[in-house]
Structure 1
């Protein structure tokens, strides 16, 4: 006799939503949270929090609560009650946009052997470099990022003249120049991918992070619960794209994929389609909304003593899918970054000449590793010249 498996309610909500606007929303971080409390338990948690820490709010909102000691105590009470029962994810929007640049400009050209480049972390090298240049307010990097964002919104190359054929306001640094040369050289392949997005209708929310956040959470929850009953906040992108999850209805089988040395689940089992509710009327969504709001302050909490205890609680529950920069990926004193720099130059040169970007690429990686001493000497020499110029 098989035992009856009851579905476990998973309530999900976000904070910092700005859709496809990754640069101009004024909200640098997007955070997502979910928990597995039964609805009755979520309702009781909200009642208990309000009774112990009375606040004048029709609906509890983390950004308001964090302004006062009593509000922070209420949030601490909620997080402590939820210990071990929630998952959170944080996304740096600028860095996420930089990651999308590799996905939509490099991936279409390299897809026949994309695993080679992902295994070597070329995507992280490109994304971190572009991000760091944006943070430094480099005009070329900001121009490239802004044009790429417009291009992904409209899927029209006319909106990205720098990437697809125009001129920069200033000369880009060498690595940004490599990205531009690559994009221009393989613009036909990239345009073909763009047309596919237009035909499928998938381009409407192509930069939004909500769908990928939901998927990462449900993969994690399926390691704890065999059957999920999923309810999300009334998010436009999730409503528009939630049918993408219908293939997970009645999927009791397990399936995994090996990615960069990690075993990753690719299916989960849902009792039915994703349902939607408002945080104003659904206690489970309200609890998830509070957690997501606190998660959004984790990147800045180190500079705010009053917020640090809240952030420390959330950090213990972050999953592996957070997207934020890692400066070590562009450290030219390491072994990885110099090799990826050489590979980007090689890809740009092939783009200039209209050559196959993948032919003999494994040998190019071997040659790049062998040329590390020469590369370091060239970089050191360039740094010395710049230092002497600064002294003068």
Structure 2
């Protein structure tokens, strides 16, 4: 019997990875029964007391609801040990793709550090954006796909004990039939299937939406030098150690111990 996990993401802006609204992509996966997930949503509603029909991560990120967010992420909370989040620092992801295409013998982390130091933030980001725009204008040149690697990491994690995984994912137009076929071929028997569900109809997907949204904000704040130490500490146990992250200072805070 396959393990069923529910997934959602935050920070997806298609292939526009540099200079867009978000600098971090987060993909969350949760392994909960529908009953446990519904109970978690019920408890969140009881604590937040908002009239909104569907709760989003922004509800939890409001300062007045900080205690609720701390409860959700805490070691004694409802998702601890049953949730995972894969983080992607977009500038480093694009740096990796540039190294893969133009300088495969060059270590991407070395290039990443050199870019910031030698060119400075403005010129380095302008260079990465030019490369990003070039790749977007040349379909098939190189993949700027954040979802497929993240889903593959989730399946690898939840199938590590030997049981295959079935994925329930929030609806996402970027996950085309072609990409899903590629994913299944890559993962072989570890992935038994992937279906889509609306977060309003599946409480597990809604919890994945919560985790992805709060993780993206917490990680982005830490990346930009104004992280919240308490929330970073709570998030750390959920972070995938194979996340795509180049900034050494913020990763030292975010990476799992």
Q: TM over 0.5, yes or no?
A: yes
Instruction: Find out whether 1:94 has 2:91 as its counterpart.
Output: yes
Distance in 2 (alpha carbons) for counterparts of 1:135 and 1:57: 44
Q: Please report how far the alpha carbon of residue 283 of structure 1 lies from its aligned counterpart in structure 2 after TM superposition.
A: 0.7
Q: Which structure ranks higher in relative contact order (CA pairs < 8 Å, sequence separation ≥ 6)?
A: 2
Shift of 1:234: 1.1
1:37 matched to 2:37? The reply is no
The 3-state SS of whatever aligns with 1:217 is helix
Structure 1 counterpart of 2:69, from 75, 86, 91: 75
SS at match of 2:175: helix
Rounded Cα–Cα distance in structure 2 between residues aligned with 1:134 and 1:33: 34
Q: CA 1:270–1:13 in structure 2 vs 1: closer, same or farther (change >3 Å)?
A: same
Deviation beyond 6 Å, 4+ runs, structure 1: none
CA distance in 2, matches of 1:99, 1:249: 22
In the other structure, the counterpart of 2:152 is 215
Distance 1:126 1:7 in 2: 41
Provide the rounded CA distance (Å) in 2 between the counterparts of 1:239 and 1:209. Answer: 13
Partner of 1:356: none
| Structure-2 change in CA distance of 1:100 and 1:310 (3 Å) | same
The number of residue pairs the alignment matches comes to 242
User: Equivalences for 1:1-392 in 2 at 5 Å?
Assistant: 6-70=1-65, 72-79=66-73, 80-107=77-104, 117=105, 122-132=107-117, 136-138=121-123, 141-155=124-138, 197=140, 206-224=143-161, 226-240=163-177, 241-247=179-185, 251=189, 269-271=190-192, 273-299=193-219, 300-301=221-222, 303=226, 307-326=228-247
For the Cα contact (< 8 Å) 1:31–1:90, is it kept in 2? yes
**Cα 1:319/1:132, change in 2 over 3 Å:** farther
Q: Is the 8 A contact 1:98 1:130 kept in 2?
A: no
RMSD of aligned Cα (Å): 2.4
| C-alpha distance in structure 2 between counterparts of 1:43 and 1:134, whole Å | 50
Q: Runs of 5+ in structure 1 lacking a partner?
A: 1-5, 108-116, 156-193, 252-268, 329-392
TM-score using structure 2 length: 0.84
Aligned CA distance change for structure 1 residues 94 and 249 (closer, same or farther; 3 Å): closer
SS in 2 for 1:296: helix
Structure with greater proportional helix content: 1
Residue equivalent to 1:182: none
| Contact 1:128-1:327 at 8 Å conserved across structures | no
CA contact (8 A) 1:8 1:225 kept: no
- How many angstroms does 1:208 deviate by? 2.7
Which of the pair has more CA radius of gyration?
1
Task: Give yes or no for contact 1:12–1:34 (8 Å, CA) kept in 2.
Answer: yes
Contact 2:155 2:191 in 1 (8 A): no
Gap runs ≥5 in structure 2: 250-257
